[in-house]
Structure 1
Amino acid sequence: MQSIHITTLRKILSSPELIDIRLWTRSSEIQFWHRCISLKYDFYKGTRRMKLLDSNEIRHFETCVYLR
């Protein structure tokens, strides 16, 4: 797996292009979201709303940064 900087992630998620995301849930499960687009970003909460175009679901996720 490849790591990217948080600013690069924000640029990718803010673009209007379709993206595929691989993410971890709180239960340590890995999910794959295919063909999704960012709808809204809440800077103060650190959450983002994404729409999955295949299923028309709207999902929320939190961007976490872990420092070593």
Structure 2
Amino acid sequence: MELEYHISEARRIIDSGQTVNLKVWKKDGSVMELKECVGLRYNFRQGTRQIKILASRQIRTIRDVFIFELNGKKVYI
């Protein structure tokens, strides 16, 4: 059983369309927890992706390098 994901594997999981739970760092260094969300689109040039939170229907833009936890498992670069 894996205890952590490489960022490339985390990207594949998010892009697959399944519901995920994420923890990401914000620009100010605080932690943002996104529960029950799906990935919408990915911008390769900027390194960002849009995430939709299903409960609130809110769409957030996050940077891939700031993802440090996916479904309770650590993400490393």
One fold, TM greater than 0.5? yes
Shift of 1:5: 1.2
CA distance in 1, matches of 2:25, 2:4: 14
Shift of 1:3: 4.6
Between the aligned residues of both structures, percent identity stands at 29
Question: Over aligned residues, Cα RMSD in angstroms?
Answer: 1.9
TM (norm. structure 1) is: 0.84
Deviation beyond 4 Å, 4+ runs, structure 1: none
Structure 2 unaligned regions, length at least 5: 67-75
Q: Which has the higher strand share?
A: 2
Tell me the matched-pair count.
66
Structure 1 unaligned regions, length at least 5: none
Partner SS for 2:13: helix
- How do 1:1-68 residues align onto structure 2 when only pairs under 5 Å count? 3-64=4-65
